Amino acid sequence: MTAETTGSRAPAASIRATGLTLGYEGRAVVSGLDLSVSPGEILVVLGSSGCGKSTLLRAIAGLIDPLSGTLTAGDAVVDGPCADRALVFQDDALLPWRTAQRNVELPLQVGGVRRAERRRRAAEWLARVGLSTHADRLPGQLSGGMRQRVQLARALAGAPAVICMDEPFGALDAQTRVAMQQLLVEAWQASQCTVVFVTHDVSEALALGDRIVVLAKDGVRDEVRVPRPRELDSPADADLQARLTASLRAPHDIDGLAVA
Ligand SMILES: Nc1ncnc2c1ncn2[C@@H]1O[C@H](COP(=O)(O)OP(=O)(O)OP(=O)(O)O)[C@@H](O)[C@H]1O
Ligand SMILES: [Mg+2]
């Protein structure tokens, strides 16, 4: 993949949360979070259901304001959505009245790319996610997994500095999931954009992350670095797998359910 095929890019940006408290209607979901992501890093966020992973991504994307603390992207305080920070949602968020092709064109259109060029680039991204033959379908005519693939193509086509991904591959079958993980790593290597990736899956975290954090309501509970190239299925990988699984299982509340 070349710069020409991926389009012009914003430089990767750092993300920094300091004493960050996030929540809804004044009620905190995540409190006092200190976390930084380096430019060009893939940070994977693991955590139990309801601990605030999607909330954190929404805050980084500028869709919700912090209750307190600060959140910066690059040199700027995050104070609203911005085309440089893309979000791939947990539930698909395609525009239902636009075809797959026109959904992928959207960030290019917003970025002022001319029609013929944005058609070409969108078609390329759809081909990469294996959906060339479905370009003219509306989202309602696609399977859930296909819609997630269109979302991925749309996010990558916009060549953002930061891409936040909320369990983007959860709905995919195992084989497509691995293919999409490879595509993401390939696109990331070509662009070196900053990626914040949320998943429940420890294996997926270890396949993708430069660093993996386990999020809890009061901040980061555990953190590991994973060197590249990956040594999947090695003893070191098994140790990390066991450690992260134990961190995820530490006593906590799952969205109101007390779990010992
Ligand atoms: N729009 C909202 N208004 C009020 N509360 C919300 C809203 N969205 C999420 N919450 C609450 O915030 C908490 C964290 O939700 P969030 O979606 O961030 O969790 P999560 O870690 O992404 O969970 P999951 O793994 O199940 O996706 C939950 O208690 C949830 O009920
Ligand atoms: Mg979520």
Q: What is the mean pLDDT of residues 196-210?
A: 94
Give the model's confidence band at 17: pLDDT under 50 very low, under 70 low, under 90 confident, else very high: very high
The ligand 1 atom nearest the CA atom of 57: 18
**Sign (positive/negative) of CA torsion 255, 23, 204, 249?**
negative
**Sign (positive/negative) of CA torsion 21, 23, 27, 28?**
negative
Give the model's confidence band at 255: pLDDT under 50 very low, under 70 low, under 90 confident, else very high: low
Q: Which pLDDT does position 145 carry in this prediction?
A: 83
- Take atom 2 of ligand 1 and give the residue whose Cα is closest: 24
Give the model's confidence band at 242: pLDDT under 50 very low, under 70 low, under 90 confident, else very high: very high
What's the CATH fold of domain 3-84+160-259? Rossmann fold (3.40.50)
Sequence spans of domains, the chain? 3-84+160-259
80-123 pLDDT tens trace: 998 889 998 877 789 999 999 999 999 999 889 999 999 999 99
Pocket of ligand 1, beta carbon within 6 A: 24, 29, 47, 49-55, 90, 255
Asked if pLDDT for residue 12 goes beyond 80, the answer is no
Asked if pLDDT for residue 146 goes beyond 50, the answer is yes
Number of alpha carbons in the 13 Å side-chain half-sphere of residue 50: 8
